[in-house]
Amino acid sequence: MTAKRFDAIVIGAGQAGPSLAARLDAAGMSLALIERKFVGGTCINSGCMPTKTMVASAYAAHLARRAADYGVALSGPVGVDYKRIKARKDKVTNDARSNLESWIAGMKGCTLYRGHARFESANTVRVGDDLLTAPKIFLNTGGRAAVPDLPGINDISYLTNSSMMDLDVLPGHLVVVGGSYVSLEFAQMFRRFGSEVTVIEKAPRLASREDEDVSAAIKSIFENEGIAVHVGADDIAFAKQGDDIAVTFSAGKPPAVGSHVLLALGRVPNTDDLGLDKAGVTLDKRGYVVVDDQLRTNVPGIWAMGDCNGKGAFTHTSFNDYEIVAANLLDNDPRKVSDRIEAYALYIDPPLGRCGITEAAVRKSGRRALVGQRPMTRVGRAVEKGETQGFMKILADADSGEILGCSVLGPGGDEAIHCVLDLMYAKAPISTLARATHIHPNVAELLPTIAQELKPLV
């Protein structure tokens, strides 16, 4: 079979893939974009867009139940119509996917192939009956939910973040195994929809990559909403119990018996079925594609972007990967991954916005540092909104004034964090934030105040 020749092949139509395809197309290149399932990847189909749409519904239900706190009278108890919630979520996803498909169709030099791509050599890829070749190949294959081999796991029906999107009934009791970002968003969401919810986490605290004060605040938020939280769980196992599922953990504690079980125990890269060995591409011990600071693999002409390279697990880091590749390849702009400042959000309510390094990491570094903190109970905007759970914390280098990191757990935390993140990219010292005049009333207006009140980290 004669291979079809292109200037470039992009494998995966998640966040980075179509954006890079558009740049290559605009540069006059011919290219093949390969997608085995839905264009848009995790973000559009089972991640950011559908889950945050559901988070919005959950927030509306929660606020309605608190109507009396704001002097608003409702005529009856607040309930949810889960089928309508799902339909709204599906529309958001389907509209976004349709718009993306139309964008791709408008790229004159781009051919979209539907199917599973497998390498046959370093520059040749097979998709079904089609053999494609190009001197430049870009991996953008993403990741999927990890399913550890826990006792009894094969005897039950369980949900992952993806299959949760297809669920069309409201669980009576959702048992969430895992206590990190995905699990926490689903746990609070379904509690607000009306499900009983139990969270089981093997680590000693929730969101264990965060500082202990952040983890403790999240646990308090959850328990205030009636979510049962079990941390430090070990010996997790599953068994059918009639129509339900029993999740055992930690000797001496009764099992959590739920109607549904969600496994949220991390992610694995989609690299195990691409034939990368035939291309000679190196993977690390966890299966991630090994790349350099400009996202090049060990094989000339092959790059890796997004979740499959282990350099980030977010839509925004995937998009930045595309920007780095395009800048180096097309713009003679030597951008690199190490220029990126870690930043992300946890979309519980109130949300957590994070950038830079944690207090624990600062302490471990041994550098002299300053810290400032303010609870949301002392933030006027939070008090006015009746949403005073959480706090803000800023860390800075005591000698240089460099901003090291920030956590904003509170109303608008996912937005307010950018006040600090942008200053970090500008390499502005903490004194710049301290002298800023922010709009009143606003959650972010207290960031300069905190910057003025920093004390030595001891």
Nearest one of 162, 128, 125 to 41, comparing CA atoms: 162
SS3 of 437-452: the string is CCCCCCHHHHHHHHHH
Element holding 221 (H helix, E strand): helix 212-224
Considering the candidates 116, 173, 418, 440, report the single residue annotated as catalytic: 440
Tell whether the torsion through CA atoms of 379, 382, 387 and 390 is positive or negative: negative
Residue type, 450: I
- For residue 440, count other CB atoms closer than 10 A to its CB: 9
Active-site residue flag, 440: yes
The C-alpha atoms of residue 374 and residue 367 are separated, in whole angstroms, by 23
**Lookup: tokens for 360:** 């624990």
**Lookup: tokens for 181:** 């970002």
H-only helix segments in 225-282: 276-279
Contact present, 350 and 390 (Cβ < 8 Å):
yes
**What residues are labeled active site?**
440
